[in-house]
A and B are shown apart, each in its own frame.
Chain A
Amino acid sequence: MNRLIALWRKETLALLRDRHGLAALFVMPVIFILVMTMALHDAFMPGAAIDVGYAIVDLDDTAHSQSLARRLNKTGSFRLADTVAQADTARQAIRDGRYALALVLPQGFGERLLAPAGADGQPTEPLTLMVDPTLNPALQLAFRNQTSAALGTLRADELTRKAGQLFGLPTTANAPERDWPDEIVSVAVQNDRSIRPPSSVQQNVPAWLVFAMFFVVIPISSILITERQQGTLQRLASMGLPFRLVLLGKLLPFFVVNQIQAGLMVGVGMFGVPLFGGEALVMPQGVGLLNWWLVAAAVSLAAVACALFVASVTRTTQQATIVGGVGNILMGAIGGIMVPKFMMPAAMQTLAEFSPMAWGLQGFHTVMLRHGDFAAILPDLLKLLACAAAALAAAIWLNHRHTA
C-alpha cells in the first residue's frame, strides 16, 4: 500500500506541475462547452428565432392588413425590422442590407380577403415578397410558408366572424386574434426511437466532458514516456515494482481527475451557461444520477486505459501528443462530439458506433434524455469496459515487449 500511495502522490504532484496538461484537461473543455453551447444554441431549438429581418409594406392599412402583420410578428421566427409605407423604401433598405425580406400588402387587401381571385370578375392583386438574393432559399421558403399560414388563419377568423354575423350568432367586436394552429412540439425521430432532441447544453456538456476525459492522454503519456526515456521505469523495476502496479498508480489519480472534470463540466452547464444566456443543464436525480456516474466512471476507465496504450505505442512525448491529440479529435468527430450524432447521415451514424466517445455520449444521453435505467446503459458500459480492458492488456504487453 505504501508503494501505491507513493505512486499516487507522485502522479498528483507531477500533474499539478504540468500547466499544459491541466489546461488541456480543465480549461479547454470549459471554453468548448461555453462557446459551443452558445454557438449552437439555436441549432438545437426547433422553432427558435432566426436572425433574419423583414419589413411589412402596408399599402392597404386596414384592420386586416395590420392583423396579418401582427400574426406574422407573433410567430417570432423572423425578426420584424420595420413597417414602411412605400415599396421603394423597402427595396432600398434591402439593397442596403438593413433587412432581407419585405412583404408588400397591396391596396384592397382587406377588402378582398375572402374573394377568390377573379371570382367576382375583378382581379385580386397578389402579395409581393421582396427578397435579398443572397438569402438562403430555404429561409425564403420558410417565410413564404409562414406568411401563407398567417394568411390562412386570418381568412379563417374572418370567415368565422362573417358566418356568425350571417346567422345572428354573438361575435366579439374587433375580430379577436386567436393563436392557431395550436402549438406543435417538435420530435426528432432517430433509429426507430422517438426522443426529445437534446438542448444545446445537454448535447454539449456530456459531449465535451467525454472529449475532455479522453484528453488525459496528454499528461499520462508525458509522464510515462519521461519515465521510460529517463530509465526511471527500469529503476522502479529493479526495485521490484511490477509494471501492473505502475499502471495502477496512474489509474486512480487520473480516474479522480476525470471525476473532478465531470463535476466541473456539470457545474459549468448548470451555473455557467445560464450566466451567458443559455439554458441550464438538467441533471438526473436519484438512481438516475448514480447511473450517470456509472457512465462517467466507465468513460474514465476507457480514457485512462487508452491513454496508457498510446503512451506505450509512442516513443516520444511529441509523438504521443500528436497521436493522442489527433486520435481524440478523430474519435470526437466520428463519435458525435463535434457534430451531434442525430444530425449525421445514417452511414456516419453507423461509423460512430465504433468510437468509444460515442458509447460514452450515448450512455449520458440515455440517462439524461431518455431517463434510461441501468439495463438501458449496460450495453454502452460493457463496450467502454471492454475497450478499457483491451487497451490496458495491450499496454502491459507492449511494455513487457520493450523491456524483454
Chain B
Amino acid sequence: MLHIADVSFRYPGAAAAALEGVRLDIPPGGVYGLLGPNGAGKTTLISILAGLQSAVSGQITLNGRPLAEARTNEPRAIALVPQEYAFYPMLTVAENLQFFSGILGLARRESKAQIDQAITFARLEQVVGKRAEQLSGGLRRRLNLAIGLLGKPKLLLLDEPTVGVDPQSRSFLLESIAGLPAAGTTVLYTSHYMEEVEAICQRVAIIDQGQVLAEGALDDLLRCDESVVELVLGADMPAELAGRYQTTELGPLAYRLKLTNTAALPRLLDELAAGGCPVHRLNVGRQNLEQLFMRLTRRSLRD
C-alpha cells in the first residue's frame, strides 16, 4: 500500500538530518507500529506522509502512485490524527465534526452519514452537544480519533493517540483502532507504549536518529534464540544452579540462563522446584518489544 524508499529530510538550518535513507513497506489492511525514542524522526515521517513537509528526497508511493499525485487525486485517502487535541475547544462535539466534514468537502447527506458513523464508532453519543473543552481526556482523544475517520481514509496516521487517558479509555481506543483494518482503513500507529504496539500491531518499525533500526512482522522481530531462558523466581536461585547455567541477573529474582538445548528445560524446572524456587514467569525463545527496543536504541536518555 505505502512504499517508502530512501527517504531523507533535513529541517532548514538543522545540523543533522531528521530522516536518512528510510525504507518502509506498509501493507494494506493492518496496524503498523512506528516506534522510536523522542526525536527519532517519527513525527517528521508522519508529517511528510500527511503532506505537511515538502523538500523530501527519496520516493513515497501510495498504491503505486507518487504520494503528491495520490493526495491530489484522492485528498481524503490519508488522514492525520495529531498528538494534540486538534479541534476547537469552544465548539461542541457535533459542531467540530460538522466543521471538519465541511473542510473535507463532504456533501450534506454524506457528511451527516459519516458524522453519525464517527459518533457511533467513538461512542460520543452522550456528549454530542457538549463543548469540547468540557470533555474528559479520554473523550477528547475519542473526538480527535473520530475527526480523523471522517472522509473514510484509506490510511490513518495516528500520532500517540492514547496519551493522557485512563486505562478504560485506552482499552476502548486500542480495541477500536485494532478494528479499523477490517473496515478498510490501514493504520500507521506511533506510540511510546510498547504493550499497546505489541497488542494491536502486526508489523513494526523501530527508528532512531532518522534511521530504521529494525522492520518486519512483530512475531519475527520478537523471536530470539530458543536456548535462552528468562525467569522470574519466588526465591533466590541456588548458587550452584546459577553457575552451571551461566546465569545473568536481570533484576531482583529475575535471571537469564543459557541452556545447551531446548530439551534441557524440563530438567531445569525440576531442579528449581527441588531447590525451593517457585517459577513465577518463564520466557523461552521470545523477547518482549521493550527489550528489543531498549537494546536497539541503546537505553540512553534522549530528552
CB distance from B294 to the nearest CB of A (A): 29
Judging by beta carbons under 8 Å apart, are A6 and B52 in contact?
no
Interface of A is mostly: helix
Which of the listed residues B82, B85, B101, B151 has the most CB atoms from chain A within 10 Å of its own CB? B82
Is the beta-carbon distance between A230 and B91 smaller than 8 angstroms? no
Q: A5-B102, A240-B71 are in contact. Are A226 and B89 (CB under 8 A)?
A: yes
Binary interface profile of A, 94-113, with partner B (CB < 8 Å = 1, else 0)?
00000000000000000000
A-contacting residues, B78-112, CB 8 Å: 78-80, 82-91, 95, 98-106
Binary contact track A241-285/B, C-beta < 8 Å → 1, others 0: 100000000000000000000000000000000000000000000
Among B80, B85, B98, contact of A230 (Cβ-Cβ < 8 Å) = B85
Closest to A15 in B: B90
Assess A238 versus B103: contact at CB under 8 Å? Given A231-B86, A232-B87. no
Given the interface contacts A3-B103, A235-B86, A240-B51, does A13 sit within 8 Å of B91 by beta carbon?
Answer: yes
Q: Is the CB of B90 within 8 A of A240?
A: no
Query: Least Cβ distance of A404 to chain B in Å?
Result: 6
Contact between A2 and B82, CB atoms less than 8 A apart: no
A119 within 8 A of B: no
B50 CB–A CB distance under 8 Å: yes
Contact among B89, B103, B105 for A236, CB-based, below 8 A: B103
B83 engages A239 (CB within 8 Å): no
Greatest chain B CB density within 10 A among A3, A5, A18, A232 is at A232
Q: Taking CB as reference atom, which chain A residue is nearest B96?
A: A10
**B: interface residue count bin:** 20 to 34
Given A13-B90, A226-B89; A239-B84 close (CB under 8 Å): no
Contact flag A231-B90 (CB < 8 Å), given A6-B98, A241-B103: no
Residue ID in chain A nearest B157 by CB atoms: A238
Considering only CB atoms, which chain B residue lies closest to A240 in the complex? B75
The docked-state distance in angstroms from the alpha carbon of A235 to that of B147 is 10
**Which of these, A17, A237, A241, contacts B90 with CB under 8 Å?**
A17
Asked if B102 and A2 sit within 8 Å, CB to CB, the answer is yes
A239 touches B75 (CB 8 A): yes
**A263–B89 Cα gap in the complex (Å)?**
30
A9 close to B (CB within 8 Å): yes
A230 touches B87 (CB 8 A): yes
A238 and B84 within 8 A (CB):
no
Cβ B82 vs Cβ A235 within 8 A = yes
- Quick check: is B12 within 8 A (CB to CB) of the other chain? yes
- Which residue on B lies nearest to A235, using beta carbons? B86
In the docked arrangement, what's the CA distance between A230 and B95, Å? Answer: 17
Indicate if A398 sits at the interface (CB-CB under 8 A): no
Flag whether A14 is at the interface (Cβ < 8 A).
yes
Residues in chain B near residue A236, CB distance under 8 A: 103
Q: Identify the closest chain B residue to A241 (Cβ).
A: B103
Tell me if A403 and B52 are in contact (CB < 8 A). yes
Are the CB atoms of B52 and A9 closer together than 8 Å? Answer: no
Which of chain A's residues have a CB closer than 8 A to the CB of B102? 2-3, 5-7, 9
Q: B76, B86, B101: which contacts A232 (Cβ < 8 A)?
A: B86
Closest to A249 in B: B103
Is A160 close to B, CB under 8 A? no
A residues in contact with B104, CB < 8 Å: 239
Contact B80 A234 (CB under 8 A): yes
Within 8 A of A (CB), among B259-274: none
- For B90, what are the chain A residues with a Cβ–Cβ distance below 8 Å? 13-14, 17-18
Task: Name A237's contact: one of B52, B84, B88 (CB within 8 Å).
Answer: B52
How far is B78's CA from A6's CA once the two chains are assembled, in angstroms?
A: 21
C-alpha gap A9/B92 in the complex (Å): 13
Which residues of chain A are within 8 angstroms of B52 by Cβ–Cβ distance?
234, 237-238, 403
B86 and A237 form a contact (CB under 8 A): no
A211 to B71, CA, bound (A): 44
A231 near B91: Cβ-Cβ < 8 Å: no
- Taking CB atoms, residues of chain B closer than 8 Å to A226 are 88-89
**A14 contacts which chain B residues (CB < 8 A)?**
88, 90-91
Output the least CB separation between A259 and chain B (Å). Answer: 23
Rounded to whole Å, the gap between the CB of B163 and the closest CB of chain A is: 13
Q: How far is the CB of B18 from chain A (nearest CB, A)?
A: 13
Contact partner, B79, options A6, A13, A229, A238, Cβ 8 Å:
A238
A231, B161: Cα distance in complex, Å? 14
- The interface bits of chain A over 1-28 (1 if a CB of B lies within 8 angstroms of the residue's CB, else 0) are 0110111011001100110000000000
From known contacts A13-B91, A14-B90, A226-B89, infer whether A234 and B98 are also in contact, taking CB-CB under 8 Å.
no
Name the B residues within 8 Å of A232 (CB-CB): 86-88
CB distance from A6 to the nearest CB of B (A): 3
Q: A231–B75 contact, CB under 8 A?
A: no
- Chain A's closest residue to B71 (CB) is A240
Q: How far is the CB of A133 from chain B (nearest CB, A)?
A: 60
Residue of A nearest to B46 (CB): A238
Q: Are the CB atoms of B82 and A6 closer together than 8 Å?
A: no
With beta carbons under 8 angstroms apart, the residue of B12, B91, B98, B105 that contacts A3 is B105
* Closest residue of B by beta carbon distance from A233: B86
Could you show 21 A-B contacts with beta carbons less than 8 Å apart?
A3-B103, A7-B103, A9-B98, A9-B102, A10-B91, A10-B95, A230-B87, A231-B86, A232-B86, A234-B50, A234-B82, A235-B80, A235-B87, A235-B147, A237-B50, A238-B51, A238-B79, A239-B79, A239-B100, A239-B104, A403-B52
| New A-B contacts (10) at CB < 8 Å, excluding given A3-B103, A238-B50 | A14-B88, A17-B131, A230-B84, A231-B82, A231-B86, A232-B88, A235-B86, A238-B79, A239-B79, A239-B103
Interface residues in chain B, defined as those with a beta carbon under 8 Å from any beta carbon in chain A:
12, 47, 50-52, 71, 75-76, 78-80, 82-91, 95, 98-106, 131, 147, 151
Which 9 A-B pairs rank lowest in CB-CB distance, beginning with the nearest? A6-B102, A231-B84, A238-B50, A231-B82, A231-B86, A238-B80, A235-B86, A240-B75, A17-B90
